[in-house]
Amino acid sequence: MSLMQRIKHHVVPPGNVALWWLGQNGFIFKSPAGTTLGVDLYLTDSCEALHPEINLKRQIPVLIEPEDLDIDLFFCTHNHQDHTDPETIRRVSRKSTMRFSGPMPSCDIFRLEGVAKENIIPAWPAAEITFNDLLLRGTFALPTDDSDLNHMGFVAQFDRGPKIYVTGDTDYHELVASAARHKPDLMIVCINGGFNNLSHWEAAQLAALVKPRMAIGCHYDMFPDNSIDPQQFRAALALKAPTVQFVQLKHGTPFLVSVPLEIT
């Protein structure tokens, strides 16, 4: 059975959210009601050709082919190619039934790659999007370069389940910590430090301000020239945010988030 089939058949207990990490900032979330949210799904190796002078060849196998992707909402936090990947979107075979959401530059890519206007939901920091049992609240993210000034994060909550904060790519700024107002249970945060993203140390400083129960580091695993050891984030959390529990995910393996937050 393929990973997409396993996700479709996975039963999520009431009050929980299941999530799967597909590499970089790519995640799929599933609610007890069966709603599936995909975030920043980079399912090709299209970035390898972007900058031949550095090594951006993907190191994580493609766990779901774009043609096999079957989710309800496809969300992008910004328009960098490892987050809004034109090839992934072009190859998705269920564009007529999925909804696509993200900041306006990502929406432009959706349209260019064949998504109908009525299936696109624009998003921005402070936006509130409801979809089935999902409430998604946009949060501030500081752009990491001038190629895209429309970065954002979000806090997702299915029904009355746990609140999950995804920072997206962001540089450090005190306004990023304004996500604390949503009282997230879990923070998923970039920790690679390269290209002006949060470093493991800055991610721990953010965790100390946001105060989630747990934190998952991401965006360190995909490209050889943009990676770190995630144990550095564990050590930084121990020093800067000792009440926040470090979690390291395995690619393609379900992780269950509950209230109160538990590892299962």
Q: Which of 153, 156, 135 is nearest to 144 (CA)?
A: 153
Q: Extract the residue ranges of the chain whose pLDDT is less than 70.
A: 261-264
Q: Which amino acid is at 109?
A: I
Separation of alpha carbons 169 and 28, rounded Å: 17
Using N-to-C axis directions, what is the helix angle for 200-210 and 231-240, rounded to 10°?
40
**Domain region containing 109:** 10-245
Residue 217 lies in a domain: yes
Q: Which of 123, 136, 219, 208 is nearest to 174 (CA)?
A: 208
Q: What local confidence, expressed as pLDDT, does residue 259 receive?
A: 82
Q: What is the DSSP letter of 146?
A: T
Residue 250 lies in a domain: no
pLDDT digits (tens, 9 = 90+) for 93-146: 999 999 999 999 999 999 999 999 999 999 999 999 999 999 999 999 999 999
Residue 1 lies in a domain: no
Residue 256 lies in a domain: no
Separation of alpha carbons 26 and 241, rounded Å: 25
Separation of alpha carbons 150 and 12, rounded Å: 33
Residue 3 lies in a domain: no
Residue 193 lies in a domain: yes
Report residue 31 as tokens: 């609610």
CB count in 10 Å sphere of residue 104: 12
Task: Say if strands 245-247 and 214-218 run parallel, antiparallel, or are unpaired.
Answer: parallel
Tell me the CATH number at 123: 3.60.15.10
pLDDT digits (tens, 9 = 90+) for 115-130: 999 999 999 999 999 9
Q: What local confidence, expressed as pLDDT, does residue 150 receive?
A: 97
Separation of alpha carbons 252 and 249, rounded Å: 9
Q: What local confidence, expressed as pLDDT, does residue 262 receive?
A: 54
How many Å from the N-terminal Cα to the C-terminal Cα in the chain?
22
Residue 5 lies in a domain: no
Query: Is 25 within 8 Å of 203 (Cβ atoms)?
Result: no
- Write the CB contacts of 206 (distance below 8 Å, at least 6 apart in sequence): 167, 172, 176, 177, 187, 189, 198
Residue 2 lies in a domain: no
Query: Is 156 within 8 Å of 132 (Cβ atoms)?
Result: no
Domain count, the chain: 1
Report residue 193 as tokens: 């430090």
Residue 1, burial from CB neighbour count under 10 angstroms (0-12, 13-18, 19+): exposed
